[in-house]
Amino acid sequence: MVLVRLALVGLALATLTLAYAAEPRAEVTLPWNDFKTLYDKGQAPKDPPAVAPLAYTLDHATYTGKVVGTGDDAYALLHVTIRGRMLRDNAWASVPLLSTNSALKSAKVNGQDAAIYLNNGFYTLVTNQKGVFVAELDLAMALMTADGETGFALPLAPTGATEVSFTVESPDKVALSVAGGRGVVQGDVGTEHTVSAVVPSLGSLAISWQKEVKELLAEKLKPRVYAESQVLVGVSEGFLQGRANVNYTILHKGVDHVRVHVPTDVTVLDVQGPGLSDWKVDAAGNIDVALNYEALGAYRLTVDYERALSGATQVPLVTALDVARSVTWVGVDARSAVEVVAGTATGAVPVDVRELPAALVGQTDFPVLLGYKSRDASAVIPLEVRTHADVDMLVTLVDSAIIDTLVTADGRRMTHLQYAVRNNRNQFLRMKLPDNAEVWSATVAGRGVKVAKGDGGVLVPLVRSDASSGALSAFLVDLVYVEAGAELGESGTARIALPSVNAPTSQLQWTVYFPDNAKVAKNSFAGSIRHVEWYSTAPQLPSNATVTERDRQAVKNAAAGMADTMGQGVEPVDVQLPLAGKAIYFEKMLALDEDLWASFDYRIKKP
C-alpha cells in the first residue's frame, strides 16, 4: 500500500483541515486512495451545470365540470388539475394558473393549500417547489344565456396540453360545442350530456350548448358575442381618469372588429388589446377597433380615457356595442383630497364594493368608494365632487435639540444649540433669540453659514433633507450666541431663556452650567422647561455625512444672497463652548413656537 505523508504546514485542503494549537507540527497518514478521493472532491467541476432558461413549465391541464343549479341560479362548476415542473433548484416563481374571470373556491398544490395572489388578470401561484408539482383548483363560472343558448368562456393559462370534459344535465336533447376544440366527442347517458375535447392552450375555454341541434355548417353560423365591462373611474382634482376592461365572450364564429361607446366629452388616451390593428373614434363617441385576426372565445379590450371635472358630473361609462348581452361593473375611487358624493343613479344599481370583481378592485391602490352594476347601455350615475381647502402640513421638524448654556460669575451667558432638523421645503429656520443676544457662529450640515436678521429674530439657511427609504434624513444645525448680563450677587434668582423656532421640536435637552461655588435651591425651579435629575434618553444627533456636498453648496449660496448679514463676505468662525461648572439639567417633550425659559434660586458661597 502506498502511503502519503502530508505535512499540514503550508498545505491547504478544501475538505480536510487539521490543526493542533498545542503542537508546533502535526502529521496525518492517509492511504493513497483516500487522499485521491478527498483531493478530487475539492476540485471545481470542469463543466458547471447550466441554468435552465425558464423557472418552470406547465405540462398538462385538465378541466372537468358540470352545470349546477337551474334557471337564473345555474352556474358552471369546474375542477382543474394543472401539472407543472420547477426547472431551477431553490428558486421562487410566480405561476399564473387561472383567470380572475372565475370565482376561485379552493386551490391546493401537492395536497397543501396554495399561496395565491392576483396578478395581471390571473390567480397566480407563488412557489419554490422542487421538481414536479400538481395544482388542483375548484372554481365557479357565471353562465350567459340568450336565444336559447347557454355558455361560458374562461381564458386559459398556457400549458403544454389542455383537455376538457363538461357535462350538462337536461331531459331534452342537448348539443354541446367547444370553441376551437379538436377531437370533440359527445356522449349521452340518460339525461346527462357530455362533451370532451382537446383545446389550444393559448386561447380560452369556451363551451356552449342549446336544446336544438343545429344543422347549419360552421361557416354559416353567425358570431354570438357577450360582454362584461369593468369600469374604474378615479376622481382627482380637476379631472376624472377612467379605465375600462371589456371582457368579450365570442361563440360560434370569430370576429375581426369590435365596437364600444364612450361619452363624447371624454378624451380617449389609449386602446389596447391582443392583435389590435387600428382604432378610431367618431363624432358620436363610438370606437371602432380592428383586429388582425378573428377573435374567438375570450377577448379583452382596454380603454383609457379622461374628462375635465366640474362640481357635478356623471361617471363616464364605456359600453360594448353589437353584443347579444352585456353587463357593466363600475367602481369609483378618490385619488386626491376631494369629497365624492353619490347621486341617484338611473339604469344602474348600487352594490357593495366587496361585490365588485376582484380584477376591477385590484387595478387601484386607492380605496374604492362606490360600486355599481348595470345592464342598461343608457345608465346614468351622477356624482358631486367637492374640493376643500388644503390644510397646511408640517414641512420642517426638529427631531432633537441638544443645548448647553454656560453662565459665568460676571453674568455673561454663552449658549451652544445643536438641532437635528428634517426639512422638506422651508428656506430658513427662523429663531427668536433672547434680547441683546449676539450670534458668534453658525453651521448647517457641517458647513459654516451666515445668518440674517429679520422678523424680530435671525434666519438660518436650511438645506432640503435627503430622501432615504421613503423618509427624510436629519442634518445638524449648530449655532452659538452670547448674552451680556449683570454680575451674579450673593443670592438671587437666575432666569435663563432659550430661542423659539418656527418648527416643532420633538425633544429638547438643555444643560445649564452654573458657577461651582453656587448652591441652587432644589425646590425653586420654575419655567416652561422641566428640571430633571438626568435625561429620559441619551442625547442623539445626526451625522453631517447624511447631507451631500451639493446640498452644502446650496446652503452657502443661500447664505451669500441674504441681506443684512453679519460680516458681509466673511466666513463665520467656528466657536467651541468651554463647558465648566455645576451642571443643571432641563428637558421638554414637544416644544412648539413658544417662550422657552427656566429659573431657579441660588446662593453664592464666598471664599
Task: Render pLDDT for 254-278 as a digit per residue (tens, 0 to 9).
Answer: 899 999 999 999 999 999 999 899 9
Separation CA 319–CA 321 (nearest Å)? 7
SS3 of residue 572 by DSSP: coil
Torsion angles phi and psi, residue 558, rounded to 5: -65, -40
Whether the pTM exceeds 0.85: the reply is no
pLDDT at 281: 93
pLDDT of 471 strictly over 70: no
User: Does pLDDT of 522 surpass 80?
Assistant: yes
Predicted local distance difference test score (pLDDT) of residue 370: 92
The answer to whether the beta carbons of residues 562 and 491 sit under 8 Å apart is: no
C-alpha cell, 205: 375555454
306: how many CB neighbours lie within 10 A of its CB? 18
Least trusted range by pLDDT, from 276-290, 328-342, 487-501, 556-570 = 556-570
Q: Which of 126-140, 232-246, 379-393 has the lowest mean pLDDT?
A: 379-393
Query: Which is nearest to 342 in space by CA: 374, 388, 385?
Result: 385
pLDDT at residue 469 is higher than 60: no
β-bridge mates for residue 198, sequence order: 163, 182
State the virtual CA torsion across 563, 568, 571, 576 in degrees, nearest 10. Answer: -80
Instruction: Tell me what pLDDT residue 224 has.
Output: 86
Render pLDDT for 395-434 as a digit per residue (tens, 0 to 9).
788 989 999 999 988 888 999 999 999 887 788 888 998 8
Answer for the pair 89, 52: CB distance below 8 angstroms, yes or no.
no
pLDDT for the residue numbered 607 = 64
CB 152 within 8 A of CB 78: no
Distance, in Å, from the CA atom of 425 to the CA atom of 406, rounded to the nearest integer, reads 34
Residue closest to 435 by CA, chosen among 583, 572, 595, 590? 595
CATH 3.40.50 fits 224-387, yes or no: no
Report, at the CATH architecture level, how domain 396-604 is classified: Sandwich (2.60)
> What average pLDDT does the segment 204-229 reach?
72
DSSP characters over 245-312: EEEEEEEEEEEEEEEEE--TTSEEEEEE-TTEEEEEE-TTSEEEEEEEEEEEEEEEEEEEEEEE--SE
Q: How confident is the model at residue 183 (pLDDT cuts 50, 70, 90)?
A: confident
In this predicted structure, what is the pLDDT of residue 19? 42
pLDDT of amino acid 48:
67
pLDDT band at 564 (very low <50, low <70, confident <90, very high): very low
User: What SS3 state is found at 358?
Assistant: helix
Query: Is the model more confident about 181 or about 132?
Result: 132
Q: Identical fold at 56-215 and 224-387?
A: yes
**Where does the pLDDT of residue 340 fall: very low under 50, low under 70, confident under 90, or very high at 90 and above?**
confident
Give domain limits for the chain: 3-41, 56-215, 224-387, 396-604
The mean predicted confidence, pLDDT, of the chain is 82
**Residue 46, C-alpha cell as written in the block:** 470542469
| CATH number attached to the domain at 56-215 | 2.60.40.1730
